[in-house]
Amino acid sequence: MFFSKKINLSLALLLVSNTGFALSHQDTPKLILQITVDQLRGDMPYRYLDKMGKGGFKYLLKKGVVYKDAHHNHANTETIVGHATLATGALPAVHGMIGNVWYDNKLGRLVYNIEDADYPLLSVDADVNQKTEIDPTQRTAKSSGRSPRNIQVSTFSDELAIATNGKAKIFGVSVKDRGAVSLAGHMGKAFWFSKKSGEFVTSQYYYDKYPDWVTDWNKAKPTKQYHQKNWTLLQPLASYEFAQQDDQAWETKFPGFGRIFPHAYGDMSNGYFNTFLTLSPAGDELTLDFAKALVNNEQLGQDNIPDYLSVSFSSTDYVGHIFGPSSLEAEDNLLRLDKTLANLLAFIDRKIGLDNTLIVLAADHGAAEVPAYLASLGMDTKPVTPKNWDKSPGMKALKIQFGFDEELIKSYFHPYLYLDRDLVSRKKLSLAQVQKAVAMEVAKLDGVAVAVTSSDLETANIPNDYVHTLVANNHSSNRSGDIYIVLESHRFVADMEGLTVAATHGSPWGYDTFVPLVFAGFGLDDKIVHQRVSTTDIAVTLSAILGIKAPSGAQGIILEDAVNND
């Protein structure tokens, strides 16, 4: 049963300026449930809505405050960038998480966004039978340690901890470590799935030892339920839009998993068993099971102090990369995700009550379609191959001009191109001039739409247009590379450290910035809002509803329809 708890906007705005937790208990949710679906473009839930049940996406989209035109306002639409933006209400230029990886000049290497050698994993996490995971950014990390210390500002969950004098219980859960760590913030606790051990793990940043319930949950071997099982279709094949397109030539044929149904998980001893789980709805199902155990054992939402739980579902991202967002696998995954969401919301309703729970659903980024799929529909497009950029005629001429006999481009790791700064320094050349010259040449290459130098971004010497604005919003003077590369619309690099993927994301184009945004529960009345809003508005709006100060770097605005919901 739902009842209305109206919050006056002027009162909320007044209370935001207070440093203490100010709203009376009857106006305060017992739980803030922040759901993030990795790689969920804003249109995707609607595509199969007629095949879904009532308790998942339909509940959110028909009972909540739905923003139909929500976008990320930064150029590098990658996982950590979007998650950190959702958490902080800040742009990457402020929160500092400008990419899944970046080059650290002090260390002289690429670093993974949340790696932290000071805080190793609590568990050994070293099953030698498990193969390298599918996410190539993880292979950049030189340590298994993880923490949120690279996030340069506070999160909403941090502000909740401050406002309640540390009494709010704050947790983040995800298959991906960066999906859990970012939203748990600096003051909460995070758990994520280890593909090596098949367990949910955490680091010494959060605990000295695992809570007993986590140890017991892992000892029960929850992945065993998938032993010798298959990912099969949820509904009859004939009911699927992509029923006749199961085996598409552009899909990644991951060894042992294949590209047609059923997809076998195989034996638990198989080195890729845990990876296969994440390439399917099983990853989300495991995340749900762990989240439910957490709510039960940590007693979330059981007193008058609001608690916070972030659940980030990752399977949509992995399925999208391997099979593409327009595939039979992606279609079935969304139908199964809908069941998982319905299960989560029904559980929360039983334990806490949806009228006592403030829910927000969004995504860290959208999704690009597979170029070959678009080509099959009549669009002339194909992936980009940057590995030979340094050997292009223009770059060869440029190196002769500058007197270089070595490769000037040190590396390209999306979206940044890195120059050999030591070489530039030895030649006693201006870095800004070399950046400019290289950017002009790279901009001429196939697939490149815009090449923007860090020097121009730092001096605001860029055009005042939409794409350049999003690039500037992504720039960090101490983390960004020499030249930001924006590829042409519907073009991307399909090679991820030797793994050819069907589709990816990471551009400033609309298909990557467009995400769903819904506030629901807590007595909110249903409403459709068509105005353009930003993902930076979420943390600010949550802060307004609770009457606490917004995160330290927040740049969004309060969404009045979610606050003053008359």
Catalytic residues: 79
Rounded to whole angstroms, how far apart are CA atoms 62 and 31?
21
In eight-state DSSP terms, residue 132 is: P
Give which of 381, 253, 275, 226 is closest to 329, Cα–Cα. 253
In single-letter form, the type of residue at position 386 comes to: P
Residues 6 or more apart whose Cβ sits within 8 Å of residue 232: 261, 262
Give which of 172, 229, 225 is closest to 198, Cα–Cα. 225
CA distances from 472 to 92, 453, 535 (A): 9, 10, 17
Count of C-beta atoms within a 10 Å radius of residue 425: 10
Rounded to whole angstroms, how far apart are CA atoms 103 and 451?
18
Strand partners, 519: 65, 360
- Residue 304, class by beta-carbon neighbours within 10 Å (0-12 exposed, 13-18 middle, 19+ buried)? exposed
Nearest-5° angle of CA 174, CA 179, CA 185?
110
Torsion of CA 60, 64, 69, 74, to 10 degrees: -80
φ, ψ dihedrals at 194, nearest 5°: -95, 120
In eight-state DSSP terms, residue 121 is: B
Give which of 390, 373, 370 is closest to 501, Cα–Cα. 370
3-state class (DSSP) for residue 238: helix
Rounded to whole angstroms, how far apart are CA atoms 189 and 207?
8
3-state SS string over 418-477?
A: EECHHHHHHCCCCHHHHHHHHHHHHCCCCCEEEEEEHHHHHCCCCCCCHHHHHHHHCCCC
